[in-house]
Amino acid sequence: MRATKRQTVAKRLNPLDWTFLAGESGDTMMQVGALMPFSPPPDADPSLLRDLMDEVRETARAYAPWNLKLKHPNWLASPLQGWVEDDDFDVEYHIRRSALPSPGDERELGILVSRLHSHRLDFHRPPWEVHFIEGLEGGRFAIYFKVHHALVDGYTGIRLLSNSLSTSRKDRETPMFFSIPPQPREPRAPKPVEDKAAKTPTLEALLALAREQIGTSRTITKVVSQTVMGAWKPEKALDPALKAPMQAPKSILNQKIGRNRRFATQQFPLETLKAVAKQHGGTLNDLVLALCAGALRRLLLELGSLPKEPLTAMLPVNVRPKDDPGGGNAVGAIIASLATDIADPQARFAAIIASTNAAKAQLQGMTRNGIMQYGAVLMAPLLLSQVPGAAGRLRPAFNLVISNVPGPSKPLYFRGFLLDAYYPLSIPLAGYGLNITVVSYVDQLNFGFIGCRDGLPHLQRLAVYAKAALEDLA
């Protein structure tokens, strides 16, 4: 009888990692991804992808986190779960080559990526895949990448993927991201010698810490009570523009979801967006919400499914320091109205601005931890929709998630090919069948619309209607 090899845990799961694994199901796949199309240089090598696959087979070696798999792949929510190194790492399983019927267009690319994102990752292996997709018109190709959110978050994923790209078109030797060893940490400077008396907490320091914690708790309690009171008794709300959990209307976005996905993309010039936002007295984030709101209102009207009450969106709030290296979770959340009950685009945009301003005002005076705790309180009702049979029956905590993630600010290249765009793919959840994420890249803002194929017909129209919404405001 063959002895089972004992594996040493290489990395422990934090509570958020475990939550993403516990939320995994046949219909709710907790994986995020990216679609990256590339344009060829004048001297493009037509055999690049074939040669690249040969290179991968011969020389590729995976480093952490890309060589880590789950210790208990058959019991995702195990309290003993952890990451272990995959001693039998098979690079050809993770790196795949696909092709569209030439010449492939953007619609065919979107259909293929929708299908690829509908397949669950294999938890008996490191949970990530890369697909090289050739056959696009003009000699272009695309890279589709997906990874389980428990292994890598979106912020860290963008940063690590960028390691495989170069700022120079002449660089043809940059290795694949998974074969780049982790950068060694700089040695810490020795701590100055302190006497024991200096290390002993004084009564004054302890009291200051206690006052800070009590102040944070009081602030959160006050803000939550104001928000909840506004939801239960709108006439008593301090600010009618402030939205709360469970204040969202029921909609076709908040039904039981299936496994299959639809994916659509749109791209806007950042300069144009900033000019339109400034023209109406809003921020770039406000305008993103307005474009999503205009597109959703038009689509739901066509489907005869527009609620009388305004849709609301949960907006993640990044609270990382500027020099944070990434990894882990450091986000809060606010809820804003999309004002989809208002027909006039300018009046709708004004209502969105008022709602986001009210939500951001709630965070004033909070510490970083306080913002994260408040976000957890706002998202707590989300758990109700994850109870079997609850989706579509209970009032949703909000209607959808809209995220804005900063991306690379300089043009990037892969083996001489120019990265044209970076389109994100996020996670539809049970009872929340649409997720919209935007990522900036150089002078463009890239939208990724991902949703349940069965629950939201004609999702691709959202990309077209978002462009029309910008024209209405401009």
What tokens were used for 442? 């150089």
- 164 closest CA partner among 422, 405, 447: 422
Residue with tokens 């694949």: 176
Which of 94, 119, 149, 280 is labelled catalytic? 149
d(CA 332, CA 371): 5
Q: Give the β-pairing of 400-405 and 312-318.
A: parallel
Q: Is 326 left (phi over 0), alpha (psi -120 to 50) or beta?
A: left
DSSP 471: H
Query: What residues contact residue 105 under an 8 Å CB cut-off, 6+ apart?
Result: 136, 137
Residues 134, 141: contact at Cβ < 8 Å? yes
d(CA 140, CA 420): 10
Residue with tokens 């959340």: 333
Amino acid letter for position 134 = E
Residues 32, 426: contact at Cβ < 8 Å? yes
Amino acid letter for position 298 = R
How many residues are recorded in the chain? 474
What tokens were used for 261? 């996905």
Residues 427, 149: contact at Cβ < 8 Å? yes
H or E, element range at 217: helix 203-232
Residues 9, 71: contact at Cβ < 8 Å? yes
d(CA 171, CA 247): 52
In the residue annotation, 149 being an active-site residue is answered as yes
Q: Is 190 left (phi over 0), alpha (psi -120 to 50) or beta?
A: beta
Q: How many CB atoms lie within 10 A of CB 334?
A: 22
Which long-range contacts does 356-362 make (Cβ < 8 Å, 24+ apart)? 356/283, 356/285, 356/286, 356/289, 356/315, 357/241, 358/239, 358/241, 358/242, 359/242, 359/243, 359/315, 359/334, 359/335, 360/334, 361/239, 362/223, 362/226, 362/227, 362/242, 362/334
d(CA 348, CA 90): 52
Q: Could you give the residue numbers annotated as active site?
A: 149
